[in-house]
């Protein structure tokens, strides 16, 4: 069975790469010149190709991981083929690096899904394969595979870090985490998540031991959602934070601690997390970003998560705990009222889809943002309900990292949702094959629509002769 799955996976990888190459060729022919953020990334990478490592564009806000990897791949090709560096470091060749990262992401997603769903290994080969193929074409990530952006490489190294953490190779995971941070500084959050999985694993083992002592072996990780459950967790946390228990965690997680200390040193040296232009990337408390993410996750997981039974269970939950949901809606309304922040780029740049979401939904009327709160609550409930098979400790860690990755961002940018969505999706229980086929069809349709609009619906601004294109 494993050999058959391997053959099928190899075939899927080949088909995925062939289709991606055809799309890449079409996009590169239509848009030869650097576009959007590529006008910063491509020239910077070309400087690195020329050996000018001391020159830096101050408009670039991320570390040089993408450019270093590009040079590491392209330079050997120059030496082996005896080609001109200018030819090899063209926009098209630099974009092709992300196509290679896409293949790597496909492979890593498959390995992570197999590891996370190890207990289901004998019965769900097709579901694992369909999940992998579907996620490798996740629309927001797949679109930026064809442009010279940091997203494909950032996702690759973060997923690689998590895979090594799952296999207990923590030194390798920490080293790969450094590579992920070199692509995007905020990946320190997901490196912390990988370190946190070590802690949660120890906590789960300790919790099981406690339950066995109390002869409660049937429910080792179940914690009731009540004051009693909260009290049990608090007492348990006091127990696991004792010096002897912390020592065990530190001994295991020390590679991640070294990365965290190094990153703290970088922040002190750099006087902040952002390099280059900081004026448009200031940290803030934009709590509605969580609501936007829950809505985003619900939209892209719709074929998998939404069904009549789940809606019924949500309504039953509301009926059983009306006070809790009333309080939740009240807090959400308060967060929307006091913490909704709008970035100037969101209002000014009509080339991005979030511009139209904001303009045609949120700006229709001042009350719209408040009327959407019940929908946010439902989307959040679906999100948490889907992950209920995970331990409470893992969920607490994931939600903390999700908040840290989204809330400080002022700009509504769907690219910031890629990593948390992929981690959410791979930890979701494997759905039936028909639902996975629906998910693949949804992603294929969205990809076809976005690429069609990008390629065939160009426009011009009144004060500029340059061709503009719609994109994520």
> Average per-residue pLDDT in the chain?
88
Other beta carbons within 10 Å of 313? 14
The tokens of 256 are what?
């991640």
Check residue 148 and give its pLDDT. Answer: 95
Question: Cβ distance 259 to 191 under 8 Å?
Answer: yes
397-431 tens-digit pLDDT: 999 999 999 999 999 999 999 999 999 999 999 88
Check residue 123 and give its pLDDT. Answer: 61
Beta bridge partners of 471: 352
Check residue 377 and give its pLDDT. Answer: 97
261-282 tens-digit pLDDT: 999 999 999 988 888 778 778 8
- Who's near 440: CB < 8 A, 6+ residues apart? 130, 133, 134, 137
Check residue 11 and give its pLDDT. Answer: 87
Q: Which of 324, 320, 336 is nearest to 370 (CA)?
A: 336
- Who's near 209: CB < 8 A, 6+ residues apart? none
Check residue 220 and give its pLDDT. Answer: 47
If residue 249 lies in a helix (H) or strand (E), which one and from where to where? helix 243-270
Question: Cβ distance 434 to 303 under 8 Å?
Answer: no
Q: Which of 314, 65, 45 is nearest to 55 (CA)?
A: 45
Answering whether pTM is above 0.75, one says yes
Coil, strand or helix: which one is 2? helix
Average pLDDT over residues 251-268: 92
- Count the residues in the chain: 472
Q: How far apart are CA 104 and CA 102, in angstroms?
A: 5
């Amino acid at each position: 069975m494993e050999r058959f799955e391997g053959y099928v996976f190899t075939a899927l990888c080949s088909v995925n790469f062939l289709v991606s190459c055809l799309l890449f060729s079409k996009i590169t022919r239509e848009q030869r010149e650097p576009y959007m953020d590529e006008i910063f990334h491509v020239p910077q990478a070309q400087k690195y190709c020329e050996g000018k490592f001391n020159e830096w564009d101050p408009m670039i806000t991320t570390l040089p991981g993408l450019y270093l990897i590009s040079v590491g791949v392209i330079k050997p090709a120059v030496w082996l083929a005896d080609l001109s560096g200018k030819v090899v470091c063209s926009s098209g060749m630099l974009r092709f690096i992300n196509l290679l990262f896409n293949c790597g992401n496909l492979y890593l997603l498959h390995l992570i899904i197999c590891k996370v769903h190890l207990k289901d290994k004998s019965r769900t080969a097709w579901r694992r394969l369909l999940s992998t193929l579907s996620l490798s074409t996740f629309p927001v990530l797949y679109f930026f595979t064809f442009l010279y952006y940091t997203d494909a490489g950032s996702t690759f190294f973060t997923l690689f870090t998590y895979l090594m953490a799952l296999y207990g190779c923590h030194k390798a995971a920490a080293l790969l985490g450094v590579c992920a941070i070199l692509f995007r500084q905020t990946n320190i959050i997901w490196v912390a998540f990988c370190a946190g999985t070590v802690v949660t694993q120890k906590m789960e083992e300790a919790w099981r031991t406690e339950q066995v002592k109390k002869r409660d072996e049937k429910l080792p990780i179940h914690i009731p959602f009540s004051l009693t459950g909260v009290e049990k967790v608090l007492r348990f946390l006091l127990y696991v934070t004792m010096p002897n228990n912390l020592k065990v965690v530190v001994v295991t997680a020390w590679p991640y601690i070294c990365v965290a200390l190094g990153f703290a040193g970088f922040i002190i040296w750099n006087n902040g997390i952002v390099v280059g232009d900081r004026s448009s990337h200031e940290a803030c408390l934009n709590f509605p970003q969580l609501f936007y993410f829950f809505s985003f996750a619900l939209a892209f997981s719709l074929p998998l998560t939404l069904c009549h039974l789940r809606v019924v269970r949500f309504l039953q939950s509301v009926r059983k705990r009306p006070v809790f949901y009333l309080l939740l809606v009240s807090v959400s309304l308060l967060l929307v009222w006091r913490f909704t922040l709008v970035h100037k780029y969101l209002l000014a740049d009509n080339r991005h889809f979030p511009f139209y979401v904001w303009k045609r939904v949120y700006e229709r009327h001042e009350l719209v943002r408040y009327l959407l709160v019940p929908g946010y609550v439902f989307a959040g409930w679906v999100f948490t309900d889907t992950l209920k098979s995970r331990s409470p400790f893992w969920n607490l860690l994931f939600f903390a990292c999700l908040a840290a990755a989204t809330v400080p961002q002022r700009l509504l940018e769907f690219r910031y949702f890629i990593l948390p969505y992929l981690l959410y999706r791979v930890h979701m229980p494997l759905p039936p094959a028909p639902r996975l086929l629906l998910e693949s069809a949804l992603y294929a349709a969205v990809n076809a629509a976005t690429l069609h609009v990008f390629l065939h619906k160009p426009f011009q601004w009144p004060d500029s002769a340059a061709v503009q294109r719609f994109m994520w």
